[in-house]
């Protein structure tokens, strides 16, 4: 006869309603879809953003914030450069002040600088690594004490199929995402004893603003490379992310979940 499993002390109540999610890069694209997904599930949403060259991200952030508020969601949005841990700490402190605590962290903020490795400048390389990998660690390291104190937390890092299936001209991006997957596994080991799950999702091609800027032939090739014959919608990724934060996924940690339409099944 098996003895009952001991339950961690001080674990927060089950379910999504009333909990708080922090989404980095939450103003646009995939980040926006995930912010709306958690809002739909009844969470308070704190999302940060950073203006990009040629894009008025602040205006798009206002649109996302307005949409969440119209859903009846408590929302906090502000600019935050995830490469700067001081800014991250200030953002987390404000979110905690408004909502009491943070329960879920979605490390979504990311950039790319495409080009042959011998043409990439040192600045371009460092900027991608600083945003995609160091930025994710800054956020994780900042919320970890909160999660450990409350003995509850879920982290989902947004990786990419290019961490294992890189095309030409993505050395910095692929390296940053491969590092992010290593960070996922290592953080899962360190935070597991505190009842904190750390996982990653590796999307394939997702129909976001960045994909729409590619030539039609590239998009066609991306679609035909998947065994399902279609591109992902942002919501396809958001649903898997929310599942990994759910009570149903409480025994999943240190994993990288491919959500790529079967792209990773295809041989070159």
Please state the rounded mean pLDDT for residues 76-82: 97
pLDDT given at position 5: 57
Phi first, then psi: what are they for 106, rounded to 5°?
A: -115, 105
Instruction: Specify the pTM.
Output: 0.93
Calpha distance 26→80 (Å, rounded): 11
**Got the DSSP string for 212-237?**
HTS-HHHHHHHHHTSTT-SPBPHHHH
Domains recognised in the chain with CATH numbers = 20-204+234-262 (3.40.50.720)
**Is the CA virtual torsion 207, 208, 211, 216 positive or negative?**
positive
Residues marked as catalytic: 173
Q: Given pLDDT bands bounded at 50, 70 and 90, which one contains residue 36?
A: very high
As a whole number of Å, the CA-based R_g of the chain is 18
Calpha distance 196→151 (Å, rounded): 7
Average confidence score pLDDT of the chain: 92
Interval 139-175: pLDDT, tens: 999 999 999 999 999 999 999 988 888 888 889 999 9
- Higher-pLDDT residue of 261, 253: 253
**Pairing mode of beta strands 44-49, 20-24:** parallel
Max alpha carbon distance in the chain (Å)? 64
Calpha distance 64→75 (Å, rounded): 10
């Amino acid at each position: 006869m098996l003895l009952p499993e001991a339950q961690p002390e001080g674990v927060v109540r089950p379910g999504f309603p009333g909990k708080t999610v922090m989404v980095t890069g939450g103003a646009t694209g995939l980040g926006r879809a995930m912010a709306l997904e958690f809002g739909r599930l009844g969470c308070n949403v704190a999302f940060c953003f950073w203006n990009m060259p040629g894009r008025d991200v602040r205006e798009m952030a206002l649109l996302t914030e307005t949409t969440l508020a119209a859903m009846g969601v408590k929302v906090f949005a502000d600019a935050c450069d995830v490469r700067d841990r001081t800014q991250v700490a200030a953002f987390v402190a404000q979110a905690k002040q408004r909502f009491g605590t943070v329960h879920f962290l979605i490390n979504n903020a990311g950039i790319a600088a495409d080009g042959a490795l011998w043409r990439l400048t040192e600045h371009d390389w460092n900027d991608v690594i600083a945003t995609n990998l160091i930025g994710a660690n800054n956020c994780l390291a900042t919320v970890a004490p909160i999660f450990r104190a409350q003995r509850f937390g879920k982290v989902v890092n947004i990786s990419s199929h290019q961490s294992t299936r890189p095309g030409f001209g993505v050395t910095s991006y692929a390296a940053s995402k491969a590092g992010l997957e290593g960070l996922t596994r290592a953080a899962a080991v360190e935070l597991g004893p505190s009842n904190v799950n750390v996982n990653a999702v590796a999307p394939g091609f997702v129909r976001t603003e960045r994909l729409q800027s590619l030539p039609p032939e590239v998009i066609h090739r991306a679609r035909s490379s998947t065994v399902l014959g279609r591109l992902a919608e942002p919501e396809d990724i958001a649903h898997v992310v929310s599942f990994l934060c759910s009570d149903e996924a409480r025994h999943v940690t240190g994993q990288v979940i491919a959500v790529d339409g079967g792209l990773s099944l295809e041989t070159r």
